[in-house]
Structure 1
């Protein structure tokens, strides 16, 4: 290995130590709001939402899931659970056209 020549007449070959950096005082991060877990969906609540989905489909057959979620007075996940409930009971018919799925009563 080649040795570096000292410049400006100093004989020391050890690297100079840098002054310690001053660190800013750590600020505590603002506390994030902890999301409360959603209440569990009960069969009774899903059943009520299924009745609303049924009524919406009687009124206007051939709706998309998005339209049904808007037309039902329930949270989106509840409306989707209701659609699943009715589908499992073989009460719904799904018509696929391209990427669009229309839901109707059987």
Structure 2
């Protein structure tokens, strides 16, 4: 009897409905932390930065079916994709050379 229940568990797990990807969505320069459940066949959370010369940077966050490639980017626009829940919440991180140098210095001192 116990082995019958062990066979039932994998079947129940396979039948469990998959959860849709959740991404932040906005099309403004502020308040871009609005979680939204994407459609079932959506695979990416997309963040784009549009920076025309002399204008404010406009950030757009949305669910996406595909991730745009290098050929699809425009002169004043960048895009970033990720594929886990709410992964497009953090702002785009830039390398801080000073922080990197400080970290290396601390590693050298600790030896």
Quickly name the TM-score band, shorter chain normalised.
under 0.3
Larger radius of gyration: 1
Give TM-score scaled by structure 1 length: 0.26
Higher normalized strand content (fraction of residues): 2
Give TM-score scaled by structure 2 length: 0.25
Higher normalized helix content (fraction of residues): 1
